[in-house]
Chain A
Amino acid sequence: MNIKIQRSLAVVSAAALVFGVASASTAQAAKHKAKVVYIAYQGPLSGGEASTGIDEQNAVKYAVKLFNARSENKKKFNVKVVSVDDQGDPAVASTVAPGIGANKNVLGVVGPAYSGATIASLPYYKAGGLVLISPSATRVSLTDPTSPDFGGPVFHRVVGKDDLQGPALAKYATQGVSSAKVFVFDDQSAYAVPLRGYVEAGLKKVAGASVVGGDSVPNTTTDFSPTIAKIKTSGATVVIYTGYYSQAAVFIKQLRDSGSTAIFAGGDGVFNQEFPKLAGAAAEGSRITGVGGLAGISKKLEADFKKQMGVSSGVYSVESFDAANILLEGIKKGNTTRAKMLKFVKSYKGKSVSGNKIVFDKNGDISYGLFAGFTSKGGVLVNTGIVK
């Protein structure tokens, strides 16, 4: 492709020389050469969280590949993806964000993937007026104008916040359980504590369910016997944990070993295929809310993704694909400066590949959250569809 462009350029300039119209040659070259436009993806591409970032970036690259291949775009634009690796770590994010913030060639960012890294990057992107569309930063404070973490005007997200996940998790955990007695506990992290609050609020709306107890266990704990003693005393039939998968695996083993058969449920922190691997048979039947991936939306799209990218779509692929498409739509409409792109995204009206309407409110949020329910079966988490 590049060689072709170079060749045609060479032909054009040679022709220009022959006719002696040097000034016309540049105009003519511009007409034929597709404009190179950059968007960035920011997330963990190395380190312990890398699998999330690589999955998301693949979905972004897939969207760009489709865009560049379309005949109406082919001659006009050549979109390239700049990879920004923040390892999901705020400390790393604050060292990579200044460069992207200052590089005016980058028109928009899909990301950052994680809330903590987003907060650390925000000052540089706000200063650079660079629009962000995160596929997976779910912390509520990012779109709360009264919070110091507020990301406006540049921050947007196409993922449901934790206050939408909480009720979804509450619903999914108690599905089919009449008058559920629920025990909810968190791992004291900035992610888990608020989510626990939203789960408890969501449980109030589930008919017959009641919260019978709770605990707050440091995320370094390996001995859960006091928590299990509390669960047993409370007579809970459903246990919801709002922390992460590694701790959840340790906990669920101990819960089952203690003889308890209560239903175990967790949020997207537990949503990781490592969870059933670590917990073994104890994980069977666990209910986890997470994001479904393209396969849960359209088999045809998933098959094409696999053909084009060589791998299956992974976590947050729907969200990353949507986010990239918004930026690409902006490019197509000729918004090739940061200011224009920001304005375009703010007033964007479109459709997610999941069929939902995407319109950002004034704080950068969308109105829906797509949380799929997964249940652990035979050592893998199986998608049971969007929680409604």
Chain B
Amino acid sequence: MFDVLIHQFWSLTIAGVALGFIYVLISLGYTMVYGVLRMINFANSEIFMWGTFGTVITNRDLFNYTQTSEPAKGWKLALVLITALLMSMFVAALTAVFVELVAYRRLRMKGTNRLATLISAIGISIALQEVMRLLTSSRPVGSPRILEKIILTEIWGANVRLDTVITIIAAAIIYFILERFIKLSRMGKAIRAVSQNEDAAKLMGVNLNRVITTTFLVGGLATGAAAFFYITVFEYTKFNIGFTMGMAAFTAAVLGGIGNIRGAFFGGLSLGLLEVYASAVLGTQWKAVTVFVVLVLVLLFKPNGLFGEAVQQTRA
């Protein structure tokens, strides 16, 4: 039972960390919105899915790579990768702002209750998914290989591949930039102020609409970056991939403590590793079961998640 884990421990760990970082970036999309609005952005999974198409379109249509063409090299490689990353972030951020505008803003202005917004978010997520289903005729879409998956080195018998290394390093950098932005920038301060007390922040002259739009934008940027790494590693997308990834990232956010940016970081990483180890030891059919058993256990002892917001900060 454990021999797979023992033999392949380091390969599994590297794969788990790479997957974990993708989760971290998507769960930022959930956690940021929750932090500010105290609402789950159910459309974040579809924002991710739309983001993946940003990279596919860049690779396939903008730079004309095909399934059979050689991977890019040198400067061209850097150019394509960075364009694809920016494109995915752009598409996802645009989708996120659109979601806020359509599903949240008007209802918020009218002062409807939270449940109505919840339903409208689910509604727009279905609409986003169906539009993509129709655009792609329900077919899976492959992305051409841009980054050759070179094995860089071997650590304790595990292959360290270029795409995993890039994913881990770049995702970590993007995470820290976002974290600093929230911590140090003026806008970041405003976001935190709204998160702590909406009315007080408004009285202090914070433009609520701008803060909320920025929150969706930043969440969308993080989710879009995740979409880029996802395509770079897995080279595949479909109209319905958002659900699985979104569910996992949402779980990661709750595990780490939703509303908390550091929580998303640790939640995402632990979920990535937990999924990989559980699949290897118990069989992949037990992956989801293990994840949710652990989640329940964590919530039993730490109801706000591992790094959950302090009780005095929570509202209602």
Say whether chain A's binding surface is mostly helix, strand, loop, or mixed: helix
Min distance, Cβ A88 to any Cβ of chain B, angstroms:
11
CB-based nearest B residue for A254: B234
Q: Are B68 and A379 in contact (CB under 8 A)?
A: yes
Complex interface: chain A residues within 8 A of B236 (CB): 222, 246, 249-250, 253, 278
Min distance, Cβ B284 to any Cβ of chain A, angstroms:
4
Given contacts A223-B15, A226-B279, A229-B8, contact A280 B139 (CB under 8 A): no
Min distance, Cβ A181 to any Cβ of chain B, angstroms:
15
CB-based nearest A residue for B3: A233
Number of interface residues of B (CB under 8 A): 40
Q: Which of A188-204 contact B (CB under 8 A)?
A: 188
B12 at the interface (CB under 8 A from A): yes
| Bound complex: CA A280 to CA B140 (Å) | 14
Given contacts A233-B7, A253-B235, A280-B67, contact A259 B284 (CB under 8 A): no
| A-contact bits for B194-236, CB 8 A (1 contact / 0 none) | 0000000000000000000000000000000000001000111
Which one, A154-162, A170-178, A212-220, is touching chain B?
Answer: A212-220
| A-contact bits for B279-308, CB 8 A (1 contact / 0 none) | 110011101100000000000000000000
Complex interface: chain A residues within 8 A of B238 (CB): 246
Contact of A257 among B138, B142, B161 (CB under 8 A): B161
CB-based nearest B residue for A47: B138
Complex interface: chain B residues within 8 A of A302 (CB): none
A258 at the interface (CB under 8 A from B): yes
B149 at the interface (CB under 8 A from A): yes
Complex interface: chain B residues within 8 A of A216 (CB): 283-285
Min distance, Cβ A85 to any Cβ of chain B, angstroms:
15
Q: Are B139 and A188 in contact (CB under 8 A)?
A: no
Complex interface: chain B residues within 8 A of A188 (CB): 285
Q: Are A277 and B142 in contact (CB under 8 A)?
A: yes
Q: Are B19 and A278 in contact (CB under 8 A)?
A: no
Q: Are A277 and B67 in contact (CB under 8 A)?
A: yes
Complex interface: chain A residues within 8 A of B142 (CB): 249, 277-280
Contact of B243 among A47, A220, A226, A230 (CB under 8 A): A220
A144 at the interface (CB under 8 A from B): no
Min distance, Cβ B126 to any Cβ of chain A, angstroms:
16
A355 at the interface (CB under 8 A from B): no
Q: Are B284 and A250 in contact (CB under 8 A)?
A: no
Min distance, Cβ B140 to any Cβ of chain A, angstroms:
4
Given contacts A216-B283, A246-B238, contact A229 B243 (CB under 8 A): no
Contact of B276 among A225, A232, A233, A259 (CB under 8 A): A225
Contact of A226 among B144, B149, B244, B284 (CB under 8 A): B284
A63 at the interface (CB under 8 A from B): no
| Bound complex: CA A278 to CA B66 (Å) | 10
Q: Are A259 and B244 in contact (CB under 8 A)?
A: no
Q: Are B151 and A259 in contact (CB under 8 A)?
A: yes
B314 at the interface (CB under 8 A from A): no
| Bound complex: CA A264 to CA B4 (Å) | 21
Min distance, Cβ B22 to any Cβ of chain A, angstroms:
9
CB-based nearest A residue for B13: A225
CB-based nearest A residue for B276: A226
B83 at the interface (CB under 8 A from A): no
B120 at the interface (CB under 8 A from A): no
Given contacts A221-B284, A259-B159, A277-B67, contact A233 B137 (CB under 8 A): no
| A-contact bits for B133-151, CB 8 A (1 contact / 0 none) | 0000111101011000101
Complex interface: chain A residues within 8 A of B3 (CB): 233
CB-based nearest B residue for A253: B235
Q: Are B12 and A222 in contact (CB under 8 A)?
A: no
Given contacts A229-B8, A277-B142, contact A48 B280 (CB under 8 A): no
The CB with the most chain B CB atoms within 10 A, among A250, A254, A257, A281, is that of A257
Given contacts A222-B234, A226-B12, contact A280 B287 (CB under 8 A): no
| Bound complex: CA A250 to CA B241 (Å) | 13
Complex interface: chain B residues within 8 A of A218 (CB): 284-285, 287-288
Complex interface: chain B residues within 8 A of A259 (CB): 151, 159
Contact of B280 among A229, A257, A274 (CB under 8 A): A229
Q: Are B8 and A233 in contact (CB under 8 A)?
A: yes
| Bound complex: CA A160 to CA B218 (Å) | 54
| Bound complex: CA A257 to CA B279 (Å) | 20
| Bound complex: CA A362 to CA B252 (Å) | 54
| Bound complex: CA A48 to CA B287 (Å) | 29
Complex interface: chain A residues within 8 A of B68 (CB): 280-281, 379
A141 at the interface (CB under 8 A from B): no
Min distance, Cβ A107 to any Cβ of chain B, angstroms:
33
Min distance, Cβ A275 to any Cβ of chain B, angstroms:
10
A367 at the interface (CB under 8 A from B): no
The CB with the most chain A CB atoms within 10 A, among B12, B151, B230, B235, is that of B235
| B-contact bits for A48-59, CB 8 A (1 contact / 0 none) | 100000000000
Contact of A227 among B139, B144, B279 (CB under 8 A): B279
Q: Are B140 and A246 in contact (CB under 8 A)?
A: yes
Contact of A230 among B140, B151, B280, B287 (CB under 8 A): B280
| Bound complex: CA A225 to CA B149 (Å) | 15
Q: Which of B58-106 contact A (CB under 8 A)?
A: 67-68
| Bound complex: CA A277 to CA B139 (Å) | 12
18 extra interface residue pairs, beta carbon distance < 8 Å, beyond A188-B285, A229-B11, A274-B139:
A47-B138, A216-B284, A216-B285, A221-B244, A222-B230, A222-B241, A226-B12, A227-B284, A229-B7, A229-B12, A229-B280, A230-B4, A246-B140, A246-B238, A253-B235, A278-B67, A278-B142, A280-B68
Binding site for A on B (CB under 8 A): 3-4, 7-8, 11-12, 15-16, 19, 67-68, 137-140, 142, 144-145, 149, 151, 159, 161, 230, 234-236, 238, 240-241, 243-244, 275-276, 279-280, 283-285, 287-288
15 A-B pairs with C-beta separation under 8 A: A48-B137, A188-B285, A216-B283, A221-B244, A223-B15, A226-B12, A229-B280, A232-B7, A232-B8, A233-B3, A250-B235, A259-B151, A277-B67, A280-B142, A379-B67
Nearest 5 CB-CB pairings of A with B = A48-B138, A226-B279, A225-B15, A229-B8, A246-B140
